[in-house]
Amino acid sequence: MLRVALTGGIATGKSYVAERLQQRGLPAIDADRLVHELLMPESEAIDPIVARFGREVLDEDGSISRRVLGRKVFADPVSRRDLEAILHPRVYDRIHAWFATLAGEGRHRVAVADIPLLYESRREREFDRVIVVACDAEEQVRRAMKRDHLPESEARQRLAAQLPIVDKVRRADYVVWTTGTHEETDRQVDDIVRTLAAVTE
């Protein structure tokens, strides 16, 4: 089974592409959803996060407040790296366990892991192919401001916390450009799905 990683940058349209891949029959797992699970009460990540960032990151229900934690880590590269050191190994363990389960079932030739920080975590070699979803950096800023209701300074701060999209494009096996219409994006997705199917025949 071909293990494909889907990545991109903030507000490049990666979620849209992930949905289209699933609609075309490729099973997918979402690293952001796994992170969300790790921030919920009783997760094994709660104690190390609280030990590093303090009890103020806890909500009343015992989960981690993404809003409070986000303010801490996006403003401080050291804090961000510390959080990633807690979360990333756990996320990748779950992703690889999911791939192993699918491979054991033998029903799929290709599966996709949606991982926003694939290159930043230096784990791209753990996958057979990488798809990068891309648009112009200034378009990322505009989309992030609109989608997440962010001031421009915060949107740019979040972009700066990631590897520049041009670097990700340069390292990708396949690129989906989302600067055009949805139909243009869909055609690129279809081309990649056909290519991946041919690889596994």
- The whole-number pLDDT of residue 161 equals 85
Q: Which residue has the tokens 């869909």?
A: 186
Residue 100: is its pLDDT beyond 90? yes
Q: How large is the average pLDDT for residues 26-38?
A: 97
Please list the residue range(s) of the chain that carry CATH number 3.40.50.300.
1-27+110-201, 33-107
Contact 63, 40 (CB under 8 A): yes
- The whole-number pLDDT of residue 170 equals 97
Q: How large is the average pLDDT for residues 100-125?
A: 96
- The whole-number pLDDT of residue 134 equals 97
Q: What is the CATH number of domain 1-27+110-201?
A: 3.40.50.300
Residue 201: is its pLDDT beyond 90? no
From start to end of the chain, where are the E strands? 2-8, 28-30, 110-114, 129-134, 174-177
pLDDT band at 136 (very low <50, low <70, confident <90, very high): very high
Q: How large is the average pLDDT for residues 8-13?
A: 94
- The whole-number pLDDT of residue 53 equals 96
pLDDT band at 128 (very low <50, low <70, confident <90, very high): very high
pLDDT band at 158 (very low <50, low <70, confident <90, very high): confident
Comparing 9-13, 71-75, 187-191, 193-197, the range with the smallest average pLDDT is 71-75
CATH superfamily of 33-107: P-loop containing nucleotide triphosphate hydrolases (3.40.50.300)
pTM (2 d.p.) = 0.93
